[in-house]
Structure 1
Amino acid sequence: MGADRHDAAEQGTVVTPSAEFPPLDDAERAALGRIGARWHGPRRADDLPVDPTPGRRAGRPAPTRFGRLTPIDMFTVAQPDELVATGAAHLPGNRFGRAVTRIRRTLVGPPLASSSVLYERMRKLVALPVLSSDLLSSVAYGPEAMLVVLVLAGSAALGLALPLAALLVVLMVAVGLSYRQTIPAYPHGAGSYIVAGDNLGRTPGLAAAAGLMLDYVLTVSVSVAAGVHAVTSALPGLTPWTVPLGVLVIGVLLAGNLRGVRTAGNIFVLPTYAFVVVVLAVLAVGYAKAAARGFAPVPPPAVPATEGLGLLLVLRAFSSGAVSMTGIEAVSNAVPAFRPTEWRNARTTLGWMVAMLVTLFAGLVGLIHLDGLVPRADETLLSQLGRVTFPSGPGYAILQVTTALILLLAANTAFNDFPRLLFFMARDGHAPRRFLHMGDRLAFSNGLVALALAAAGVFVAFGGHTERLIPLYAVGVFLAFTLSQTGMVVHWRRRPGPGRRRRLAVNAVGATLSGLVLVTAAVAKFTEGAWVVVVAVPLLVLLFRRIHRHYATLHRALALHPPPPGPSGPAGSAEGEELPQQVRHLVIVPVARLNRASLRALAYATSLGRPTLAVHIAPEEAEADRFREQWRAWGDHLRLETIVSPYRSVIGPLAHYLEALHSSRPELTLTVIVPEVVLRRRRHRLLHSRAEQRLRAALRALPGVVVTSVPVHVSH
């Protein structure tokens, strides 16, 4: 196993803030050295007009536009040529930005330094409730989902609940053991995306990722819908507010997770443990009462059959009960979130989770059978069981409160794993690179926000109704289960060693059982809504491949290549230069009128020591003549080109003019220097056309054009 872990360590990537900045490969490093050897220009900062590494200065109160303030050091000197930005350097420079920052820090807390990433990881007792809330909460609706289907064939069909539950327990244990083997083999992330992609290929890996992403979004939607339903069942007056309440809960979960993994874990520890303790108390009291009557089952009330008891109905019941397993993969996806030794702590936590799941699920199904309970539209089975077990006292109320809390917080598992999955996909170029970025609290803020928005959209679209969301639930996650375990079968076949056959057999059993549930769920629930997932998975895979194609094209365009032999002449085209001596400039200054802003831009352009051309766009010939006369009065220091635009457009004619210049001399770099007036007060900007910003945006799309702004700040 040690060799396997070493191999996986090379394939995985430790989750750190530096993951946004991948290293150069050997070929690029060699090309970089050859390019640098032919670089003709200043090699050091010795000729700079300012010291780039300022020392610490004593701060004295000084008048500023904000009053008399004592300067705060924005940087500290770590070593020669290296500064470290202090916390003050991260504050915006304007009042509005600072106000927004204060609000954000009030909600999510002060920023954490990158060096704190290790301390933001979870110990086992915190990771267990954080990662198991989804899995354990499913026992509140999983048994009922199975019985709701069986009761369609009448009360007699409820007798099949025990053998189906036994099969589901076998499935839980098999999949749990499979993931316990996967974690040590992939200690830097044992999620289905990594395992399937590494062993089965890119497309199966992307299919597993698509299934998991849909599952995470549905986990949040279903959990919040079930939790809100529990609340509105106890307080019917809140029923019209189901959708706003659900969106509010998703917002609270988002805010909690934006505070960081460790802080979010501390928030969600108590409700999860409380739910487990209360359900265990229900089981203990319920089975004690059953033992007192010799474990004789109470006959269930007669329910007329509306469907025949056929194979399809049994398969539907089995796949519905399998939703109790959603979330079992959470630990394998979150291995990097554990404290060292990560894989060992993750494997132990997974073992605890599976043991608790089997105990609660099997115990509840058995007790429901012994008490003769049947599903009802107006009350959940767990609520009925609580009333029977605790006919008096606060026990029933405590059960309902903890159930509502665990259902509402079950979505937290998805908030932990969804951003991490996006991180690994973005690392491989299959998702936008922004998902690599860690926020102020060392959480993947962009991934968290994306999950919250997607889940809120699904919740609103389905009106917060749990029964409409459940049919979509199992297909995606069991697709990921199947591909992951199949990938591990291939993994063990490629790696001979002691215990290989046993490990291969365990994963093969897990893959087979997961595949059967996948096919069953897809077929039995296809018309009930599973078709949405069946269609969405290939569409997402196509999207991921398109994103990867874009990043691959971008990488090829920006990759370093050795320069051709011989002297370094001009580059074949603009944007192809890699050496200073290859760059050929033409500086262009658009001038609307002669004032302090335009003269400063002209002065800046001239100071660069490159050929400079001024361009004026006039709406008619008379204006062109007037501007040329003003230009001569200034002294005619630079070449002026006047363009008459009879349709009064400025940006279009200027852009086409630059394109014409670039076409005539493709090797030229056209440096466009735009005068810009910067106003202090935001409300004053509404009084101006902001033509400079629109001009910059239009010119940046042109090849061979570099746009630079020369600002003039107006303080009042």
Structure 2
Amino acid sequence: MTQESAAHPPGPSDPLPDLTAEQLDTLHRIGRRWSRVTRPPQEWRDALPVDPNVGDYPARHQIRLPRYERFVTVSELGGKARADQVSKVTALTSTSTGRVGSRVRRVLLGPALKSTALVRERMRKLVALPVLSSDALSSVAYGPEALLTILVLAGAAGLALSLPIALTIMVMMLAVGLSYRQTIRAYPNGGGSYIVTSDNLGRVPGLVAAGGLMVDYVLTVAVSIAAGVAAVTSAIPSLGGATVPLGLGAIALLLAGNLRGVRQAGILFAAPTYLFVLSVAGVIIAGLVEAARQGFPPPSQPQVDATTGVTLFLIMRAFTSGATAMTGIEAISNAVPAFKPVEWRNARTSLTWMVATLLALFGGIMALVLLTGTLPRPNETVLSQLARNSFGSGLMYVVVQASTAAILLLAANTAYNDFPRVLSLLARDHHAPRPFMRMGDRLAYSNGILLLTIAAALIFVAFDGRTTTLIPLYAVGVFLAFTLSQSGMVVHWWRSRGRHWRKSLAFNALGACMCAVVFVTAAIAKFTAGAWVALVAVALFVLLTLRIRAHYDEVGRALRLRPQSATLPGNTVPTPLCPPKEPPPEPRPAAGTEDTWEEEEAEETPEEIHHLSVVAVETLDLANIRALAYAASLRQPVLAVHLSPTDEEAERMTRYWRHWGNHLPLEVVVCPYRTIIAPLVDYVEALHEQRPDLTITVILPELATSRRWHRLLHDRMAFRLRHSLRERPKIVVTTVPFHV
């Protein structure tokens, strides 16, 4: 079960990329052409019938952090919650059904969170070790059993090979652990397989590594849940027939928790991991003490009927099945910035302790299996049998099974943290749809979480929640990513040739070779058992990501600033609006007072309609320039608004706007929420409250693609905004298509 953490995760300003010197020069030239056909900027500002500054969201220092929570909520735009108005910033729809759905959503998921509300914790080694090791350590709950399940097919002769195969796997654990110590030194900001491979081996190998990770994360959820359910049904056999419903319930629980933005927080993850380590260590110690009491009798020779002979193919299958116990060993190298200073030193120390613990648990379980002659059973796991032998069926046995189920559930949750993050990295690099790059208002990559849930649930149901049938699919993806990551590190050391580069290169080369052996062995030995599914999935993933990148490159070329392609508004003069003849009416009551709404919209002749065009500008490209030109050509007051998640992006947008020529009024709102629709709705309503007599037209640029499936790659902002505003009076949403 791998854990991917990016060296450079997508930042809040990623949607607004830096403009090159050439693009800035083109933007300036476009602005000069606007100067020749439009009125001076001051005239456009004087024509505004409203004050564009409707207030700000509260600054970070104004938010009182709760004592025991990691998240805080903030008030609406302007610092006050307009409770008597029609909408809230956290309500994305205004229909009766939408309002009910929004309230249900907030009850289940909680209110929207500010981007800066997430307290970034630095973990001590005592906390970081269990938090980042739960993935790897949980593998001992099913890795030894997966090894024995294959060897038992050859009877006593096959089981006799369990010791040498287990020792080989332990040597691999040590070698790969040492190689990841070198990765920590080379990537002190965290180096996941996708980042390392892309940096050193190129785009396509990086996508192959990402494909392996994607397959691995889906199977991480399916395998962990299957193993956790097996631990429960071993303790409570009457639940054996409810394996699939129990597993789907656990996946639904993970979905709900992660959509709320649950994070790996300190003691929450540390306690179950430490409990699991202590309980399994207790099983091993109790079993060894009992064996010592008996004078360490010769290993028991179980009587089993062989269904096949001992062949090289059988040994290869057993080896790759047992090697799943070392998955997740790279997790600490990916999360170096999460440690307290000195980060890299603490990370290397924690990695050493993790590998030592993993070796002790894996080796201890295999030793007890040999001493007691324990064999896999259909309705009880090997670890459950060993716990019964050591503690009977009392309290300690229950503790072992409960801690096993808990750590496997937490191990599945690491995939929920990492799958969406890697998907967001791919989206940042234009290899995945853009919606996967955006965080939801609960500071979680909601789209990626939903995709992982659907894929894992389908896999779990398709294989009836059986761990033994899922394992053959599992090793291929993870060891493919391991191999490419370690190979990338070999290239890194060869290029950099810094201090001790030869030693580091040797360790990473050894790790790459061993992981390659496991990958090739798994691909060959388990091809017909299901490994082909993982290989085909990776290949299709790479092809799909390359197609997506080709589309985004085409769109990027079409949107690239070119002086002769920029649309101009024509020689336009804004028409100033007279102030309202009567004082602004009192704020209208909530939805339901239809008489008031009808009175406000009683405009039956053109001269009774007064316009304000609000252009939502994301960045300055040809599509947005065209939308601005369209708005200016209407000869009505125009206000451009840009929502920035950070002050840094706000400053960049303001700088680009001035470079263009500052031709139209621009209001930049620093929005603390990782969503666009709700704050934009809030801003438009605030403008409408200033002048209820105005008809506000919200203008959005919209990409019009030639193929339907390309629409999935772009945000449907216009549709969502129109749905959110359709019941508000005197607000119109229109789009300016840009065909690609």
- Give the TM-score normalised by the residue count of structure 1: 0.73
Letter in 2 for 1:534: L
Deviations 1:189-239 (A, max 9, x none): 411111111111111110110011001100101111121222233333333
1:678-689 correspondence runs (5 A): none
Shift of 1:133: 2.4
Shift of 1:352: 3.0
1:43-442 correspondence runs (5 A): 43-44=41-42, 45-54=45-54, 74-76=77-79, 89-92=89-92, 94=94, 96-119=97-120, 124-260=125-261, 262=263, 266-335=267-336, 343-391=344-392, 393-442=394-443
Change (3 A) 1:462 1:439: same
Q: Percent same amino acid at aligned positions? A: 55
Aligned to 1:658: none
Aligned residues: 578
Shift of 1:15: 4.3
Letter in 1 for 2:468: E
Aligned to 2:570: 581
Shift of 1:428: 0.7
Letter in 2 for 1:74: L
Shift of 1:491: 0.7
- Distance, in Å, in 2 between the alignment partners of 1:261 and 1:120 is 14
CA contact (8 A) 1:14 1:188 kept: no
- Distance, in Å, in 2 between the alignment partners of 1:150 and 1:214 is 26
Change (3 A) 1:188 1:24: farther
- Distance, in Å, in 2 between the alignment partners of 1:498 and 1:418 is 34
Deviations 1:690-711 (A, max 9, x none): xxxxxx99x99599xx999997
Change (3 A) 1:295 1:200: same
Shift of 1:309: 1.2
CA contact (8 A) 1:228 1:408 kept: no
CA contact (8 A) 2:10 2:428 kept: no
- Distance, in Å, in 2 between the alignment partners of 1:355 and 1:540 is 35
Shift of 1:334: 4.2
Change (3 A) 1:126 1:157: same
- Distance, in Å, in 2 between the alignment partners of 1:514 and 1:211 is 13
Shift of 1:597: 8.5
Change (3 A) 1:74 1:372: same
Aligned to 2:17: 22
Aligned to 1:455: 456
Aligned to 2:517: 516
Change (3 A) 1:458 1:121: farther
Change (3 A) 1:160 1:31: same
Aligned to 2:30: 35
Shift of 1:328: 1.9
- Distance, in Å, in 2 between the alignment partners of 1:131 and 1:288 is 31
Change (3 A) 1:22 1:55: closer
Shift of 1:97: 4.6
Change (3 A) 1:294 1:313: same
Shift of 1:383: 1.4
Letter in 2 for 1:17: P
Shift of 1:137: 1.4
Deviations 1:511-570 (A, max 9, x none): 000000001111111111111112111111000101111111111111223x26xxxxxx
RCO greater where, 1 or 2, for CA within 8 Å and sep 6 or more? 2
CA contact (8 A) 2:419 2:448 kept: yes
Letter in 2 for 1:190: G
SS at match of 1:581: coil
- Distance, in Å, in 1 between the alignment partners of 2:252 and 2:477 is 25
SS at match of 1:75: coil
- Distance, in Å, in 1 between the alignment partners of 2:522 and 2:605 is 67
Deviations 1:83-109 (A, max 9, x none): xxxx96344463655544443344344
Shift of 1:478: 0.4
Change (3 A) 1:495 1:548: same
- Distance, in Å, in 2 between the alignment partners of 1:278 and 1:104 is 39
CA contact (8 A) 1:430 1:544 kept: yes
- Distance, in Å, in 2 between the alignment partners of 1:184 and 1:407 is 30
CA contact (8 A) 2:233 2:380 kept: no
Letter in 2 for 1:397: V
- Distance, in Å, in 2 between the alignment partners of 1:244 and 1:702 is 41
Shift of 1:126: 4.3
SS at match of 2:133: helix
Aligned to 1:538: 539
Shift of 1:112: 3.0
Shift of 1:159: 2.5
Letter in 2 for 1:577: A
SS at match of 2:539: helix
Any unmatched runs of 5+ in structure 2?
Answer: 57-74, 81-86, 574-599, 614-629, 637-698, 707-717, 731-740
- Distance, in Å, in 2 between the alignment partners of 1:556 and 1:404 is 51
- Distance, in Å, in 2 between the alignment partners of 1:251 and 1:371 is 38
Aligned to 2:676: none
Letter in 2 for 1:201: G
Change (3 A) 1:157 1:112: same
Deviations 1:232-285 (A, max 9, x none): 333333333322221110111122223335366654332222111100111122
Change (3 A) 1:384 1:90: closer
Change (3 A) 1:268 1:97: farther
- Distance, in Å, in 2 between the alignment partners of 1:400 and 1:239 is 15
Change (3 A) 1:396 1:258: same
SS at match of 1:128: helix
Aligned to 1:639: none
Change (3 A) 1:102 1:412: same
- Distance, in Å, in 1 between the alignment partners of 2:240 and 2:17 is 50
Aligned to 1:483: 484
Shift of 1:473: 0.5
Change (3 A) 1:97 1:158: same
CA contact (8 A) 1:258 1:448 kept: yes
Deviations 1:308-347 (A, max 9, x none): 1122111111111011112223334445555666555544
- Distance, in Å, in 2 between the alignment partners of 1:224 and 1:532 is 20
Deviations 1:109-135 (A, max 9, x none): 443322234526655444433433232
Change (3 A) 1:423 1:73: closer
Change (3 A) 1:668 1:451: closer
Letter in 2 for 1:469: L
Any unmatched runs of 5+ in structure 1?
Answer: 1-8, 57-71, 78-86, 565-575, 585-595, 610-666, 674-695
Structure 1 stretch displaced more, 434-443 or 317-326: 434-443
- Distance, in Å, in 1 between the alignment partners of 2:411 and 2:559 is 43
Aligned to 2:8: 13
Aligned to 1:687: none
Q: Which has the larger radius of gyration?
A: 1
Structure 1 stretch displaced more, 599-608 or 384-393: 599-608
Deviations 1:401-458 (A, max 9, x none): 2222222332012112111111211111111111221223322222222211211111
- Distance, in Å, in 1 between the alignment partners of 2:505 and 2:492 is 8
